[in-house]
Amino acid sequence: MKLLVGLGNIGSEYAATRHNIGFMVAERMASRSGIALKKKGYMGLYGTGSIASEQTTIILPQTYMNRSGACVQAVSSALRVDPPDILVIHDDLDLPFGRMKISKAGGHGGHNGIRDIIEALDRRDFVRLKIGIGKPEWGTVTHHVLGRFNSAEQMKLSLLLDAGADAAEAVIIDGVVSAMNKFNSYNLDENL
């Protein structure tokens, strides 16, 4: 069993914000794989199905971003999924919009959702798919992260969500190292 976790905040006011790109990529992956995210449990919305031949559960924590760890701990414990088989998809300020990075482990990098997951699992060796949202040109980080994509970003957003789903699929099917080799140099602008 593989576990794919999309991070975001619940509520319509957050639905199309940069901080919710983890939700958006996970939803794109679920749609592409025919996995309905309609079951309620483990403090999230989830569905289980097959991605290629890998049995995979996709979950969107319903605990707000900063408390994502409780959901991830609950579902991974119940389904007996070890951290190396968990893929967490989240936004990353340090990557420009349109870039991605896959890592096998590491720290939280200032991301409160990842910090909470590390604390809840008491482990750092889960896989992360970081989707770049860039740093703010003006205003606060909070305003940028909780803000909506600008018009230039919105024109490319669907392509980025597709690329994120491709990267997540590659992690599940081909393994982390192969996916890192393929997607860690990905630049949306070079693939238009």
Q: Among 14, 22, 82, which residue's Cα sits nearest to residue 58?
A: 22
- Name residue 103's amino acid: S
Q: Residue 80: count other Cβ atoms within 10 Å of its Cβ.
A: 8
Which segments of the chain are extended strands (E)?
A: 2-6, 39-41, 44-51, 54-61, 86-92, 100-103, 127-132
The residues annotated as belonging to the active site are 19
Count of CB atoms within 10 A of residue 165's CB?
Answer: 22
Q: Which tokens is 126 given?
A: 């889960």
**In a 10 Å sphere around its CB, with 0-12 CB exposed, 13-18 middle and 19+ buried, how is residue 34 labelled?**
exposed
